[in-house]
C-alpha cells in the first residue's frame, strides 16, 4: 500500500488550501457534514466526457442531482478500486434515493483505460448505473485534470501516480465537501443525504 501514501500526499496540499474542519461551513445551508467542507464553495469547472456506455456526461447538465466526482484508473492495485467500491456502497446504502445521485469517475490513465478495461472494471466491481466511468484522449483529460488540480504521472507498465479525492457537489452545482482517499461509505452516504434532504 505504498502507493496510497503517495496518493494521499499529493492530495493533502489541495485539501489544506480548500478546506476548513468538518461541520464548519459556507453558510450556504445548515447541513452538518462528516467530510471536510469547502471554505469557499463555488461551482467546479464544467466538462463533458463519455462514460462506459459511450454516453456524453456534461457536468453542468447534472444540476438538480447530487454529484460525487473522483479520479481513478482501472489498473490501480489499491486505492482506486477501494474508492470505487466505497462510492458504490454509499450508493447502495442510499436505496431509492440514489436516483438523484450521480458518481463521475474521471480517468487518470488515457492509455490503460481502454473500453475493454473500463467495462471489466465496472463489471468486476458491480458498479451501479449511477456510476459513470469517464474517458477521453489524453489532451482532453489533461484539461480536466488541470482544471481540478489533479496530477497524473505514468510510472511505467500500468502504474500511475495521481491525485485522488472525491468532491461532493450539491444540486445547484456547487462543490461542498472534499473527501480524501480514506472516506468511508458511511461518511459519504451521510453527507450525500444532507444534500438530498
The answer, yes or no, to whether residue 78 has pLDDT greater than 60, is: yes
Q: Give percent above pLDDT 70 in the chain.
A: 85
Q: 28-42, 60-74, 144-158: which range is least confident on average? A: 28-42
The answer, yes or no, to whether residue 22 has pLDDT greater than 90, is: no
CB 122 within 8 A of CB 85: no
pLDDT-based confidence at residue 16 (cuts at 50, 70, 90) = very low
The answer, yes or no, to whether residue 1 has pLDDT greater than 80, is: no
Q: Which of 18, 59, 62, 60 is nearest to 41 (CA)?
A: 18
Q: Give percent above pLDDT 90 in the chain.
A: 73
Look up residue 23 and give its three cell numbers.
461541520
Q: Which of 106, 168, 113 is nearest to 141 (CA)?
A: 106
In whole numbers, what is the pLDDT of the chain averaged over residues?
87
Structural domains in the chain, sorted by start: 2-196 (3.40.30.10)
Q: What is the pTM of this model?
A: 0.85
pLDDT-based confidence at residue 80 (cuts at 50, 70, 90) = very high
pLDDT at 11: 46
Q: What is the pLDDT of residues 162-175, one digit of tens each?
A: 999 999 999 999 99
Higher-pLDDT residue of 99, 39: 99
Distances (CA, A) of 187 to 54, 106, 135, 147, 152: 31, 21, 27, 26, 26
Phi, then psi, of 15 in degrees rounded to 5: -60, -45
The answer, yes or no, to whether residue 53 has pLDDT greater than 50, is: yes
- Evaluated on CA atoms 65, 145, 87, 92, the torsion sign reads positive
Q: Which of 138, 130, 135 is nearest to 119 (CA)?
A: 135
pLDDT-based confidence at residue 30 (cuts at 50, 70, 90) = low
Amino acid at each position: 500500500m505504498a502507493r496510497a501514501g503517495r496518493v494521499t500526499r499529493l492530495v493533502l496540499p489541495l485539501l489544506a488550501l480548500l478546506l476548513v474542519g468538518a461541520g464548519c461551513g459556507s453558510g450556504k445551508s445548515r447541513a452538518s457534514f462528516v467530510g471536510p467542507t469547502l471554505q469557499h464553495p463555488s461551482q467546479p469547472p464544467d466538462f463533458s466526457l463519455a462514460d462506459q456506455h459511450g454516453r456524453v456526461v456534461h457536468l453542468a447538465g447534472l444540476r438538480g442531482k447530487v454529484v460525487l466526482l473522483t479520479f481513478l484508473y482501472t489498473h490501480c492495485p489499491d486505492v482506486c478500486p477501494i474508492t470505487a467500491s466505497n462510492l458504490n456502497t454509499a450508493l447502495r446504502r442510499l436505496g431509492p434515493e440514489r436516483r438523484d445521485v450521480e458518481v463521475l469517475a474521471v480517468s487518470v490513465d488515457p492509455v490503460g483505460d481502454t473500453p475493454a478495461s473500463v467495462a471489466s472494471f465496472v463489471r468486476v466491481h458491480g458498479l451501479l448505473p449511477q456510476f459513470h466511468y469517464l474517458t477521453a484522449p489524453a489532451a482532453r483529460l489533461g484539461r480536466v485534470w488541470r482544471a481540478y488540480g489533479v496530477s497524473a504521472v505514468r510510472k511505467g507498465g500500468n502504474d500511475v501516480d495521481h491525485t485522488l479525492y472525491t468532491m461532493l457537489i450539491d444540486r445547484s452545482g456547487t462543490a461542498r465537501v472534499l473527501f480524501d482517499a480514506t472516506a468511508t461509505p458511511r461518511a459519504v452516504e451521510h453527507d450525500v443525504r444532507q444534500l438530498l434532504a
